[in-house]
Amino acid sequence: MNRSRNCGLEWERLRDGSFARLHANHSEIRRPGFALKKVAIAKMTEVSVVSAVFGQELLVFEPWVSVLLDAGDTVVFFGAYALAFPPENDTTDLPHICVRTGSWNKNEDCTRFECAEDKNAYIWSAAQIQIDLAFGLKQTFLSIKEMVSSLSDLVDQGLKRRCLARNDMHWRKVSVEVTSDFFSWKYAYSPLTSVVDGFEAWLGKWLDIFKNLAIDNIRAEDCEVSYRPCLMDRMPRGQVQRHDACL
With contact defined as beta carbons under 8 Å apart, do 141 and 96 qualify?
yes
215 three-class SS: coil
Which pLDDT score is estimated for 243? 32
Which pLDDT score is estimated for 89? 67
Q: Is 243 domain-assigned?
A: no
Q: Is 246 domain-assigned?
A: no
Q: Is 67 domain-assigned?
A: yes
Q: Which of 66, 68, 67, 70 is nearest to 106 (CA)?
A: 70
Q: Is 239 domain-assigned?
A: no
Which pLDDT score is estimated for 3? 39
Which pLDDT score is estimated for 152? 95
Which pLDDT score is estimated for 5? 42
Which pLDDT score is estimated for 68? 97
Close Cβ partners of 89 (under 8 Å, ≥ 6 residues apart): none
* Pairing mode, strands 194-197 and 173-179: unpaired
Q: Is 238 domain-assigned?
A: no
Give the span between the Cα atoms of 36 and 40, in whole angstroms: 6
CB burial string 59-83: b at 16+ within 10 A, e below: bbbbbbbbbbbbeeebbbbbbbbbb
Strand partners, 135: 98
Which pLDDT score is estimated for 218? 82
Which pLDDT score is estimated for 178? 96
Total tally of structural domains belonging to the chain: 1
pTM of the model: 0.81
Which pLDDT score is estimated for 167? 82
pLDDT along the chain (247 residues), means of 10: 54 84 57 82 94 91 96 95 80 86 93 90 88 89 94 93 88 94 92 92 92 76 88 60 30
Q: Is 133 domain-assigned?
A: yes
Q: Is 240 domain-assigned?
A: no
Q: Is 17 domain-assigned?
A: yes
Which pLDDT score is estimated for 2? 36
> Structural domain of residue 154, as residue ranges?
2-232
